[in-house]
Structure 1
Amino acid sequence: MNLLVFGYGYTSRAFVSAQQDAFSDVAATVRSPAKAAALAQEGVRGLVFNATGWDAALPAAIDAADAMLVSIPPDNEGDPVLRVFAERIGAAPNLRWIGYLSTVGVYGDHAGAWVSETTPPRPISERSARRVHAEEGWLALGRQTRKPVHIFRLSGIYGPGQNALVNLQNGTARRLVKPGQVFNRIHVDDIAGVLAASLRKPDGGIYNVTDDEPAPPQDVVTYAAGLLGVEPPPELAFETAELSPMARSFYGENKRVSNRRVRDELGYAFKYPTYREALQALAEAGDGRGEGEAGGAE
């Protein structure tokens, strides 16, 4: 099976690393020739795709792909992959699985209530509105070409090197308190696991990829501090905290996101059902403890 990845970043890299043995060829796009050349060290064929052009070998990679993962966000003009390659993707002879990485931000604010894949999107931010339009474009392509398109709505992503333990170590962790506020989150290894489960059942559809327990963000920081044996940072009231407009906008959306469809339809059992199991494993691997500690952060 040949895999083509549009946008080789933190999440798609974790998926390829976990599933590389399942593919005879993995090609992935990055923005520069230097980054493309560096991917050879990971056993990945690097191709350039950016706002000014693309690698001459990319159309042939689309033609040869059995599976395609898209993790490039939409821009002001829409989805860049669809804009350039929709017709080519629709005609790809071997393509039997398309995965598009979206966000639970498409649901907007629900005042802490539960949402599922049947909940109509009502995005608040412009970036989430773009995601809705991109989802619609990919689903329309699937309907037109009868290729299975899978929309994966991801909650807050964390994992090795990117988590509350590391934030505590580098001094960027904060305990912002907004009464009633909760967030879902998802370990990058579980994203990779859900994508793999979907590859085994390429039926198309929309899936929330999120953990079991929506939790106040300050609780996560407190738990991480306990694992490291350090004092957590002081609590800060959301109303008076200095935040960037983007950070403040995240707190304008409060919802609990259900992952039942992933469990029921894909049969996936989460490796890290809550942040506690995940942070425990990350701490044991060395995250948040600096160089020279057991495991070492990657």
Structure 2
Amino acid sequence: MEIWRLPYQPAVIHLRRGQTSGIYSIKTLPFPLYIKCSQGNESSSKKPDSMFILGMGFVGKFLAADLKSSGWEVTGTCTSTSRKKKLEEMGFHSLIFDSNEPLNNGVQCALQMLRHKELLKERLKGGNLQWLGYLSSTSVYGDFSGAWVDEEFPPRPTTESARARMAAEEGWLHLACDVGVTVQIFRLGGIYGPGRSAVDTILKQEPLSKSQKMRFSRHYTSRIHVADICQTLKASIQRPSAGKMYNVVDDDPAPREQVFKFARSLVEEKWPGHLTSKSSAEEAESLIPQGASRGAKRVSNKCIKTELGVRLLYPTYESGLRSIIERMENPFG
């Protein structure tokens, strides 16, 4: 399948209805959203596959690097000149996009025009889109007191950020239905990978943030290695299913303090005698109020295995963290 690179079709934005009927505003996405486009009648030109990523953050950069190694052209957005320079040094096309700043160039002017719902529909219809994916979060399910949940369970978000993700899911599904494009929603667990893991947090030997400490009160936390997110997205590109929801998590939802204790043991095993601070897990555990919630939920990943044929590279946090530390150079050297 021939794919069209999309430097002038920035059609993926977070929709939120404003005060005026029919008008939608562009908001910065908490997770990236991806589109893949077809060349249409020019398939004989043999142009490489192309992906547009709105929000080249942690996951976006890993996916972009993965696709680039397979010959894809990748274009993405960022919010500063310095980030744009870094992305271009990595070999990616990049565009600066900030919904709160004036729009100066042609691409950004096009984005401003897409604030209008009907014009947005027109752009999507004419874009020859092959695949569109929105990265959401398992937080939309809310608290199920430790019970297993799958894609059939009705979401009941309890936080503002989770409600915002739920609204974004619904907005994209409705829009996709209106314009006849295929969209998939991916509900991600806690994302980790090289440079962003319990191992990295422990090596920094810095105090945990307030939000990190609060997450220790959950008895179950579902998580996913960034490499498994990427392989799931690529599997979906090969098997698109309109309107489908997928939970993207590993096989082993586990308490956060358990994960941190294991990460600390890996660090002490590889670089004995270098850790001097109190265990992050012990620090957080001592601060959890008596009677604090330990419920949350355990999220099932059955659909990505049965429907997309995904075989997780890192099915447990142990395998994922071992992979990270095995590839890590001595941070104390």
Instruction: Specify the TM-score bucket, using the shorter chain as the normaliser.
Output: 0.7 to 0.9
Relative to structure 2, which stretch is displaced further, 165-174 or 189-198?
Answer: 165-174
User: What is the deviation of 1:221?
Assistant: 0.8
**AA aligned opposite 1:167:** T
Give deviations 1:173-216, integer Å, cap 9, x for gaps: 76969677110111111111111111111223110010101101
Relative to structure 2, which stretch is displaced further, 13-22 or 115-124?
Answer: 13-22
Q: Do the aligned partners of 2:125 and 2:180 also contact (CA within 8 Å) in 1?
A: no
Counterpart of 2:321? 279
Counterpart of 2:288? 239
**AA aligned opposite 1:44:** F
Q: Do the aligned partners of 2:217 and 2:294 also contact (CA within 8 Å) in 1?
A: no
2:328 matches 1:290: no
Instruction: Indicate which of 226, 229, 239 corresponds to 1:201.
Output: 239
User: What is the deviation of 1:42?
Assistant: 1.5
User: What is the deviation of 1:59?
Assistant: 7.8
Quote the Cα distance in structure 2 between the aligned partners of 1:23 and 1:140: 33
Instruction: Indicate which of 39, 46, 61 corresponds to 1:13.
Output: 61
Relative to structure 2, which stretch is displaced further, 32-41 or 104-113?
Answer: 32-41
User: What is the deviation of 1:18?
Assistant: 1.0
Instruction: Indicate which of 188, 192, 196 corresponds to 2:230.
Output: 192
Give deviations 1:44-98, integer Å, cap 9, x for gaps: 111121122455236889xxxxxxxxxxxxxxxxxx9897973355223321100
Counterpart of 2:297? 255
Matched position secondary structure for 1:193: helix
2:142 matches 1:104: no
Counterpart of 1:31? 79
2:175 matches 1:141: yes
TM-score, normalised relative to structure 1: 0.79
Quote the Cα distance in structure 2 between the aligned partners of 1:88 and 1:278: 43
1:210-229 matches, within 5 Å, as 210-229=249-268
User: What is the deviation of 1:142?
Assistant: 1.4
Quote the Cα distance in structure 2 between the aligned partners of 1:156 and 1:89: 33
Counterpart of 2:307? 265
Quote the Cα distance in structure 2 between the aligned partners of 1:214 and 1:273: 10
Q: Do the aligned partners of 2:62 and 2:230 also contact (CA within 8 Å) in 1?
A: yes
Matched position secondary structure for 1:100: strand
Q: Do the aligned partners of 1:3 and 1:23 also contact (CA within 8 Å) in 2?
A: no
Quote the Cα distance in structure 2 between the aligned partners of 1:8 and 1:47: 10
Alignment gaps of 5+ in structure 1: 62-79, 242-247, 293-298
Quote the Cα distance in structure 2 between the aligned partners of 1:60 and 1:3: 18
Quote the Cα distance in structure 1 between the aligned partners of 2:89 and 2:302: 38
Q: Do the aligned partners of 2:133 and 2:183 also contact (CA within 8 Å) in 1?
A: yes
Question: Over alpha carbons, which structure has the higher Rg?
Answer: 2
Quote the Cα distance in structure 1 between the aligned partners of 2:118 and 2:229: 27
Cα pair distance change 1:290/1:259, threshold 3 Å: same
Q: Do the aligned partners of 1:107 and 1:120 also contact (CA within 8 Å) in 2?
A: yes
Q: Do the aligned partners of 2:218 and 2:256 also contact (CA within 8 Å) in 1?
A: no
Quote the Cα distance in structure 2 between the aligned partners of 1:215 and 1:265: 25
Quote the Cα distance in structure 1 between the aligned partners of 2:116 and 2:52: 14
Q: Do the aligned partners of 2:220 and 2:294 also contact (CA within 8 Å) in 1?
A: no
Q: Do the aligned partners of 1:86 and 1:141 also contact (CA within 8 Å) in 2?
A: no
Percent identity for Structure 1 against Structure 2: 33
Matched position secondary structure for 1:93: coil
Q: Do the aligned partners of 2:137 and 2:165 also contact (CA within 8 Å) in 1?
A: yes
Quote the Cα distance in structure 1 between the aligned partners of 2:186 and 2:123: 19
Matched position secondary structure for 1:266: coil
TM-score, normalised relative to structure 2: 0.72
Compute the RMSD of aligned alpha carbons: 2.9
Relative to structure 2, which stretch is displaced further, 15-24 or 105-114?
Answer: 15-24
Relative to structure 2, which stretch is displaced further, 96-105 or 83-92?
Answer: 83-92
How many positions carry a matched residue from both structures? 265
Q: Runs of 4+ in structure 1 displaced over 6 angstroms? A: 80-85, 173-180
Quote the Cα distance in structure 2 between the aligned partners of 1:273 and 1:264: 15
